Every structure is written in C-alpha cells, then in structure tokens.
C-alpha cells in the first residue's frame, strides 16, 4: 500500500502551525534541514500544538510532560500527556495528537532505533528498552527518585552535547537517550507494580478488546463478532467497555476505522473507491455516508483539503 510515513523533520513541522512557530526550539535548525534530523531530534514544545491528522512516524517519541495536557492516540491506546509523566510511542504505528492545552509544554526526543544501535550497547538491550507493554497506555508518572527536574537535566545535557559537538558527542547523546529509556522503564515498573494490584477482569477485557480492534478492524465491524472472539456475550462486552472507558464499544471500532480512513485519504494515492474496499465497506456510498457522519464532510473534500 503506497502511503506516507513521516520522517522526523516532517513530524516536527506538522506539529507546529505558523502562529506558534516562534515559540518552539530548534525551528531554525529544522528549516535549514540539519542532517541530524534523519536520525534524531530534541525539541521543546512551548505552546499548543497544531491538531494533526492521524499519521505514521518512522521514529520513536520519548516525551517528558512539563505543564498542561495533550490528548494522544497511539495504536489502540488513548491517553493524556500530563505534567511529571514520561511517555514512549513506538515507530510505525498510527498516531494522533489533539487538543493540547494553551499551557502545554513538553520535552521531546524523536529517534530511530538504528540511531541507538550504533552505540556500544547491544541490539537486544535496545530492543528491550523500547519494548512497550501492550496492555497499558505507554505513559507513566515519574517516581520521586526520578522527578521531573532530574529528568530535565538529562534532557538539557543532550541539548548541550549537540550544541557543543565535542569529541564523541553523538555516542554520548546515544548513551544519554538510553539512560532516559531506562528512566522510562523504571517508571513503568514502579507504576505497574501498583497498578496490577488494582487490575480487574474488566480492565483486562477492555484492553483485549482494543487490541483485537486494532488487529481486525478492516474485516470485523460489529460488537457481536468481537464478543464471539472473546467468548463473552455482546451485552457483557458492551457494558464492560462503557463502564471502563465511558465510550460505547462500537464507537471504539468506528474511531479506529475513521483514523485509518483519514490517514489513507491524506497520505495514500488510492482512490476513494479503493480506500472503501481496503476498509471493508460493501460500497463506496456506504463509506462516504459513514465518513461524512463522523467528520462532517465528504471523503472527496477531505482528501482535497491539504
């Protein structure tokens, strides 16, 4: 399927609209097409982000929340970036950032895994560090021991290394990013130890359902079919999802379908008829009615508004 995967430079430029461009660091570097943006970038977002159409990045995000909030969907996880949190988003998955508050601020490192494997740390270690537990949103509160001030100092050390570009600076940057990934994994372990004590059957079922939707949304469209795969009744599944998320189970299916539709309309060369077929609609008109009901405009107009 011919679709566009965002590189680091494209990702950053799409996050920032014209009115906010002066409020973000490294914009001059981005505009000058610095070569390091092929492998990694370190950016502080100091203002609300432009709402993004769902996209697929080629790189990971390591995000340290400072102030304000931002709503994120990454794969089948939906969560908020909050102050004093550390979040890791995987490469090559559908992502969407929306509704950042006016005071939103976050330190962000964007990196390709290959950038880190050029260090002296072995590949299996890197694989383990960037592994994201599929059962939990990939955002965790920083522990008292870690706290945001200490984490920000590490972030600033990376900025200083890049500005000074002394001997071995790229290897030092790689090792400092790896250190931050250990901080992420430590926060993850600490939070999950507490969380597992409170985890119940309803929570497990909710995430099993979301994972199934992410895997099978192109072919399965009804709550009854998902309930059958999970060996429970449709009513029990619907009641559980509503109780756990505040959202109807069918809305979760439709949201995933809509995100893929938005992505394909904007970043593929497929026709609307082809996209309707890929998404499993029985006709183009059915897809058009679905899309207009959810977005308020037709797929054709949406595709044309770049």
Question: Token pair of 168, please?
Answer: 């071995």
What is the bridge-based pairing of β-strands 56-57 and 5-6? Answer: parallel
19 — pLDDT class (breaks 50, 70, 90) = very low
* β partners of residue 87: 63, 139
Query: Phi/psi at 105 (nearest 5 deg)?
Result: -145, 135
pLDDT at position 196, please? 57
| pLDDT reading at 33 higher than 70 | no
Report H helices in 165-245.
169-198, 201-216, 223-229, 234-245
50-59, 70-79, 198-207, 276-285: lowest mean pLDDT where?
198-207
Q: CA-based angle 262:266:267, to the nearest 5?
A: 110
Q: What is the CA radius of gyration of the chain?
A: 20
The larger pLDDT score, comparing residue 96 to residue 148, is at 96
Residue spans of the domains in the chain: they are 5-197, 201-304
Task: Let me know if the fold of 5-197 is the same as that of 201-304.
Answer: no
Give dist(CA 13, CA 17) in Å, integer: 8
The larger pLDDT score, comparing residue 176 to residue 148, is at 176
Q: Is residue 278 within 8 Å of residue 218, measured between CB atoms?
A: yes
Residue 57: enclosing H or E segment and its boundaries? Answer: strand 56-57
Q: Is residue 45 within 8 Å of residue 105, measured between CB atoms?
A: yes
Give dist(CA 103, CA 67) in Å, integer: 6
Domain 201-304 has CATH 1.10.10.60: yes
Give mean pLDDT, residues 253-278.
93
Give mean pLDDT, residues 84-102.
92
Give the up-direction half-sphere exposure of residue 187: CA atoms within 13 A in the CB hemisphere: 27
Percent of all residues in the chain with a pLDDT value above 70, rounded to a whole number: 89
| pLDDT reading at 220 higher than 90 | yes
What is the bridge-based pairing of β-strands 70-74 and 40-45? Answer: unpaired
3-state secondary structure of 3: strand
How many CB atoms within 10 Å of residue 215?
12
Domain 5-197 has CATH 3.90.1150.10: no
Q: Is residue 82 within 8 Å of residue 65, measured between CB atoms?
A: yes
Give the up-direction half-sphere exposure of residue 18: CA atoms within 13 A in the CB hemisphere: 0
Return the biggest CA–CA distance within the chain: 63
Give dist(CA 271, CA 301) in Å, integer: 13
């Amino acid at each position: 399927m011919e679709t566009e995967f965002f590189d680091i430079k494209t990702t950053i430029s799409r996050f920032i609209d014209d009115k906010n461009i002066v409020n973000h660091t490294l914009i001059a570097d981005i505009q000058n097409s610095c070569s390091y943006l092929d492998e990694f970038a370190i950016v502080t977002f100091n203002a609300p982000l432009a709402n993004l159409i769902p996209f697929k990045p080629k790189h990971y995000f390591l995000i340290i929340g400072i102030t304000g909030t931002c709503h994120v969907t990454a794969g089948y996880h939906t969560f908020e970036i909050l102050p004093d949190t550390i979040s890791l988003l995987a490469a090559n998955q559908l992502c969407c950032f929306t509704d950042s508050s006016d005071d939103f601020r976050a330190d962000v490192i964007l990196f390709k895994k290959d950038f880190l494997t050029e260090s002296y740390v072995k590949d299996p270690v890197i694989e383990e560090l960037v592994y994201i537990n599929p059962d939990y949103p990939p955002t965790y509160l920083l522990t008292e021991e870690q706290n945001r001030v200490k984490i920000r100092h590490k972030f600033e050390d990376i900025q200083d290394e890049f500005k000074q570009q002394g001997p071995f600076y790229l290897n030092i940057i790689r090792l400092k990013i790896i250190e931050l990934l250990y901080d992420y994994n430590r926060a993850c372990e600490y939070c999950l130890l507490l969380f597992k004590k409170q985890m119940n059957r309803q929570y497990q079922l909710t995430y099993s359902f979301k994972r199934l939707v992410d895997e099978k949304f192109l072919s399965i469209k009804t709550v009854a079919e998902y309930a059958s795969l999970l060996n429970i009744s449709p009513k029990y599944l619907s009641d559980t999802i509503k109780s756990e998320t505040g959202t109807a189970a069918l809305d979760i299916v439709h949201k995933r379908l809509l995100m893929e539709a938005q992505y394909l309309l904007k970043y593929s060369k497929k026709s609307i008829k082809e996209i309707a077929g890929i998404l499993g609609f029985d006709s183009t008109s059915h897809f058009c009615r679905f899309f207009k009901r959810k977005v308020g405009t037709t797929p054709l107009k949406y595709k044309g508004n770049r």
